[in-house]
Amino acid sequence: MTKIVIILMLTLFFNTANAQEDFIAQRERMVNMQLIARDINDVATLNAMRRVKRHEFVPESMRPYAYTDGPLSIGNGQTISQPYIVAFMTQELKLKPEHRVLEIGTGSGYQAAVLAEIVDSVYTIEIVEPLGIQAQKTIKYLGYHNIKTKIGDGYHGWPDKAPFDAIIVTAASNEIPPALLDQLAEGGRLIIPVGQSRFHSNLVLATKENGKIKTKKLIGVAFVPFTRNKE
């Protein structure tokens, strides 16, 4: 091996190491400035946001912006949500380590990874096949063994894996799909953007107590519309 080759390999190694250290620093700033400085105080959520490598869930061209305070395009007309919104929705679910969670709208897989850092198992459904396939690859590459993925219409949930302690929907719907409420465990919590305007909907929290559903509006948000298969 020539000296030039050795120098090039060492340069690549140190550049890669420096880049990874920089991403760690960016994640810490994201947590401190975008989350803690606002109203995110759940320790499990904050630790998950520190650990999950958001830059691995966005296209190469978007990586310099991976930890900025906003959504980013992931292709196919879809986005990865703003870190604050990911953390806010996660915190509102009040997750425990033994929980089973259903996610509708895998997207890049980032939200699923955040959930997987906290709970026992995550089941996630994506209707856009190219995104679902890429998310599966990313999840496998990063070693998340407690995430189960499926490509399909999430409107009907994942009945053979129900009930779920928590359900999260990452696309705006005109209603809360009835099947998701049916699959919510007693005492469970469901969070979903309701209102299909591309520019505004409301995050709604639904809870199941004694078999009855109670809903509460939380904050205004902007999400891509809920996509369904044509029937």
pLDDT at res. 16: 40
Whether 228 is covered by a domain: the verdict is no
Percent of the chain with pLDDT strictly greater than 70:
88
pLDDT digits 0-9 by tens, 133-188: 999 999 999 999 999 999 999 999 999 999 999 999 999 999 999 999 999 999 99
Model confidence, pTM: 0.89
Q: What is the mean pLDDT of the chain?
A: 90
Q: Indicate the residue type of 154.
A: G
Average pLDDT rounded to a whole number, residues 13-33: 75
DSSP state of 226: P
231 occurs within a structural domain: no
| Residue 98 domain flag | yes
Residue 227 lies in a domain: no
Quote the number of domains for the chain.
Answer: 1
Q: pLDDT band for position 229 (50/70/90)?
A: confident
Report DSSP state, residue 119: S
Is 201 catalytic? The answer is: no
Q: Structural domain of residue 159, as residue ranges? A: 3-221
Question: How many residues would you count in the chain?
Answer: 231
Q: Which CATH number goes with the domain that contains 110? A: 3.40.50.150
Residue 145, domain member (yes or no): yes
Given 61, 73, 81, 197, which residue is catalytic?
81
